[in-house]
Structure 1
Amino acid sequence: MGGWNIIAILLAVCDLIEITVALVLLYLCCLRRKTKKPTSSSDSENFLKLSYQSLVKATDGFSSGNLIGEGSFGLVFKGVLNEGERTVAVKVLNLVRHGALKSFLAECEALRNIRHRSLLKVLSVCSGIDSHGDDFKALIYKFMINGSLDKWLHPSQTVAETMDRPRSLSFSERLNIAIDVSMAVDYLHHHCETPIVHCDLKPSNVLLDDDMVGHVGDFGLVRVLPKASANQSSSVGVKGTIGYTPPEYGMGNEVWTRGDVYSYGILVLEMFTGKRPTDDMFQGTSNLHNFVKAALPERMVDIVDPALVQEVVQGNMLADRNSNDGRARVSTKLRESLISILEVGVACSAELPRKRMDISNVVAELCRIRNKLLVSKR
């Protein structure tokens, strides 16, 4: 009997070992499947492999018909990949221009680790040799179907433009875009590992998708600030676009986050007045900031974009006809909101940097204005 007991014990131990081995193998198999799962479509978008030849084909040889814009250091073309499956924007760097290579490297470095819904998405980069044997470098972005904010604020007068899209942006669209841009700047200034200064905020660098969401692009002049300081950078050289650069840059000061706030303020004033900061009406000490500041609040209607004035007037007419349904309250809130938004633009574009709003406060204020207006419409 003792011998049978020993055999039974041995068989039980063998069964236990077999079960343990089977469980271990099953675990390892599952673990292997997890580590080798197929790459998602979103991951594949981030790692497009594009050659110079594929970009030539996509843009029809970088033809003028596909030219959709001009960046700080190059031209931007519309391209169609994979037999029409995906439309992209291709920014081809002009490497002959001084600072273009440095711009390319800075933009790649800055965009490598930043992600935000209001920042233009970079799908890939291309670095190689063109058909003439020269260096070729390009950035490939997600295509924004509604183009730049600049083209909406200052539309051309061609028949094609008039037929393709509305003549102007509504008040709510402008406010939403202003909030989108402020959130992007706030992210760059306060929510990255180190503060990032865009250096070239302007309407042509804000792109609109099919939902009219604003995306900040063209990081060719971007500067990453030292970790020890959220103020100044050690970078020198080109610091932005005339009309949007803060006064201190003209005096030799280095770039900093308050410089972006100034540019943002000018952008907001342009969005709601329809006037460029480089308009011929601004001569000598006259500028867009002073023009708006002098008119607020009493003469607000005299300075805002005529399209917005029409929107206010139409709101007043409806209010007069339907004074009992709350439309009068909406019309008043619209006027108050316009004044408040222009005041934000003025505060951001103050000549003295210490008087400018922090971009986080800008986000909070603009969202408060939007929420207040939405409540009044209920």
Structure 2
Amino acid sequence: MVAHVGDFGLARFDSQSRTNNSSTITVKGIVGYSAPEYGLGMAASKEGDIYSFGIVLIELMTAKSPIDTMFEGDLDLHKYAQLGLLSDELMNIIDPRLLNNCGSPRNDIKIIECIGSVMEMGVKCSAESPQNRMRIEDAISELKKTRDIWLKELRIMDRYA
């Protein structure tokens, strides 16, 4: 249960030919994971990487790809998760496999709280505006707290199994 993310695809740069003593560098990313500002020609940034990280968190909790066919028009993975959190529909959007073998209803509630916390971090990290995104230091701190709660629940479940 230790994930290691090596590349969101944003590390690829395409240097175009020089004309009139100027050069243009464009960022190429993976559709669905690239921050919205990259579509406006903004330079790669740590905020863009945080956006991608947030999308991955949401994808892990929902088992939905950001390029799933259900995401058409204005609906995207970020908005899907945000709507689920705001409307208390978390149970309808999370991957049901995350709840396998939870044991008791008490454990379900704690695990669902942890999943909701990760989803909330994903939504905060993938905010449309770079200035509104969660700082990665804060996301890591919150993820560690959530991990500790989840592991505590798993130990309690093992004691009663």
TM-score range, shorter chain: 0.7 to 0.9
Aligned amino acid, residue 64 of structure 2: K
| Matches of 2:143 and 2:27, distance apart in 1 | 30
CA contact (8 A) 1:330 1:373 kept: no
**Which runs of no fewer than 5 residues in structure 2 stay unpaired?**
14-22, 157-161
Q: What SS does the aligned partner of 1:296 have? A: helix
Larger radius of gyration: 1
Q: What SS does the aligned partner of 1:254 have? A: coil
TM-score normalized by the length of structure 1: 0.36
How far residue 329 of structure 1 moved from its aligned partner, in angstroms, is 3.7
1:305 aligns with 2:95: yes
Paired residue for 1:331? Answer: 108
How far residue 335 of structure 1 moved from its aligned partner, in angstroms, is 0.9
How far residue 268 of structure 1 moved from its aligned partner, in angstroms, is 1.1
Q: Considering only aligned residues, what root-mean-square deviation do their CA atoms show, in Å?
A: 2.2
| Matches of 2:107 and 2:92, distance apart in 1 | 20
Paired residue for 2:33? Answer: 244
| Matches of 1:241 and 1:363, distance apart in 2 | 23
Match of 1:273 among 31, 38, 62: 62
Aligned pair count reads: 145
Q: Where do 1:1-378 residues align within 5 Å?
A: 173=1, 176-177=2-3, 180-181=4-5, 200=9, 221=12, 236-296=25-85, 298-309=88-99, 311=100, 314-315=101-102, 318-319=103-104, 328-376=105-153, 377-378=155-156
| Matches of 2:69 and 2:111, distance apart in 1 | 30
| Matches of 2:141 and 2:130, distance apart in 1 | 20
CA contact (8 A) 1:199 1:239 kept: no
How far residue 330 of structure 1 moved from its aligned partner, in angstroms, is 2.8
Structure richer in helix, relative to its length: 2
Query: Quick one: structure 1 residues 235 and 349, their matched pair in 2 at CA, closer, same or farther if it must change by over 3 Å?
Result: farther
Bigger RCO of structures 1 and 2 (CA < 8 A, at least 6 apart)? 2
| Matches of 1:335 and 1:366, distance apart in 2 | 14
How far residue 199 of structure 1 moved from its aligned partner, in angstroms, is 5.7
**Cα deviations across residues 276-335 of structure 1 (Å, max 9, x unaligned)?**
1111111111100001100116211111113224x1xx42xx32xxxxxxxx54332101
TM-score normalized by the length of structure 2: 0.80
| Matches of 1:362 and 1:304, distance apart in 2 | 20
CA contact (8 A) 1:200 1:263 kept: no
Aligned amino acid, residue 42 of structure 2: N
Runs of 4+ that moved beyond 6 A: none
| Matches of 2:140 and 2:24, distance apart in 1 | 28
Paired residue for 1:72? Answer: none
Structure richer in strand, relative to its length: 1
Identity of aligned residues (%): 37
